[in-house]
Every structure is written in C-alpha cells, then in structure tokens.
Amino acid sequence: MKLVLDASVGASYTSASQWARRVTEAWASGNLYCVACTAPRLAPHAANRAVEDYHCTRCRRQIQLKAKNGTFAKAWSNSAFEKKRAAIAAGRTPDYCFMSYRRESLLVDDVVWVPGHFITLSVVSPRRPLAATARRSGWIGSTIHLDRVPNNGKIVVVERGKSRPPRKVRLEFHRLAFLQHLDSPRRRWLTDVLAALDHAGIAPGQGFANADLYALEERFHQLHPSNLHIRPKIRQQLQVLQRRGLVTRVSPGRYVRH
C-alpha cells in the first residue's frame, strides 16, 4: 500500500474541497482493499452516487470514504439524518473508511475502517437544521461520533503513516462479522456494551465484573430511555459475548475480556 497522494490528479481544480475529494478518491481507488474478503482493490461507483463511493466486486460490500486534512477527527459530518436512521433500521448502512492526510506533505496518516454494522443510533446524532437563508433550508444532516464506536469496530488499516498487514486487518473484521446478521436493536445493544467496556478502561486480557458495567447504568439509560431493565439487559449481552468468545466467565458475575 502506497501512502503518498498524487497531487497531479487534482491539478485542474482551484477549489480546495474539490482538489481534496479528487486526490483522496484517487488514492483510495489505487490502494484500498476489501477488509471482508480477499479482493485487492475496491471499485469506484459512478460519480455523484448517493451514500456509497466504492464497492467490492467480490463480496458486494458498499463503502463510503470520508477524508480530512490534518488531525484525525472524533466526529464526522454525514448525510441526512432521517435517511441514515432508516438505513440503520433496515441494515443497509455502508461501511465507512475514515482517512486523515497531510496536504503539505501529500502523506496519508491514518485510515480506519468501520463496518456498517457498527454504525448504530448510539453513534449517530442529528445536526442543527440549516438556516432559513440556506439553499436547503431546514435540511438536517447527521454526525458520526467515532469516539462512541467500540474499539472492536474501528479497524485500523493505516496508523501514523504505517500500513498494517491485510491479514491482521481482515481477521479483526471477521471476528465480529456476526453482527451484520443481527437486527438493528440487537446490534445496538451488543456494540453499546462493547463501547461501555472501552469507556470503563477494560482492555483485552483484563478482568471485570457486572458491577463495572452497572456503574455506567446512567449511560445506558441515556442511550435506551425506554428500557426499564438495564441491568438484566447488560447481563444478557454478556452471555452473547461469551458465546462468541469475546469474553470468558470466570465466576458468577465476573469475566475476562478477549
């Protein structure tokens, strides 16, 4: 994987945003591979196609590229909130490839791939409606909060200017690929519990107790205000994670994370 941008493909653009779009898309077309299968390259969609930028010709995954000059962001603006909410409910959310680069040096710094099954309503929020004077007055976009996505769902392809072996990247994807076959509510609860473990500072190899997650009960209430049985729901998700080999129960109410 080459981590140098080709500025020449954007030479005809005077707009900084158009230059960035053309150059980063050209890099992705020539370097990004599918993390879900062995396809060495992604195929670009026709220009101006809504939602997706690329697709895999082998496994048919849909991917949207989001690129930013400078420091890797925790929050990324995205498409219309209502359409995104409908896509999440229907299980039609594309994968997202978040990329940071440095325009002055033409180097790619970080690339993080988030599978669509990790994009739940817990990590997406509506933006403020556009002003009455705007061309699309009242339009409500969305924001994807990467800091709310569990670490398991942020698959690092490039980190600090160094690419990772594709084999390791693909293993990380397939470890939680079962989530894509669950309905939206079940996906959301499982990823919320994984994110809570991250929030509590419980890394792989460390032990934890039910009480560590009960301490975050208010966090779960904010995400699921209509659920009146948070603690039983947490225990239920831990049982699922145990069956999937993501945690091991070592004694009643105590686990080790993997």
Cβ neighbours of residue 250 closer than 8 Å, sequence gap 6 or more: 207, 256
Q: Indicate whether 244 pLDDT > 80.
A: yes
Q: What is the average pLDDT across 15-29?
A: 93
Cβ neighbours of residue 226 closer than 8 Å, sequence gap 6 or more: none
Q: Token pair 């999937």 is at which residue? A: 244
The predicted pLDDT at position 131 comes to: 87
Residues across the chain = 258
Q: Indicate whether 48 pLDDT > 80.
A: no
Runs of H (alpha helix) within the chain: 16-31, 81-90, 166-175, 184-199, 210-214, 217-223, 230-243
User: How far is residue 186's CA from residue 174's CA, in Å, rounded to a whole number?
Assistant: 18
Question: What is the value of pTM for the model shown?
Answer: 0.94
Find the radius of gyration of the CA atoms of the chain: 20
pLDDT in tens, 177-202: 999 999 999 999 999 999 999 999 99
- Which structure tokens are listed for 210? 């039910």
Counting Cα atoms < 13 Å in the Cβ hemisphere of 84 gives 27
17-26, 39-48, 199-208, 223-232: the lowest-pLDDT one: 39-48
pLDDT in tens, 160-175: 999 999 999 999 999 9
User: How far is residue 137's CA from residue 190's CA, in Å, rounded to a whole number?
Assistant: 37
The predicted pLDDT at position 164 comes to: 97
Q: Which domains are present in the chain?
A: 1-173 (3.40.210.30), 182-258 (1.10.10.10)
The predicted pLDDT at position 95 comes to: 97
Q: Indicate whether 52 pLDDT > 90.
A: no
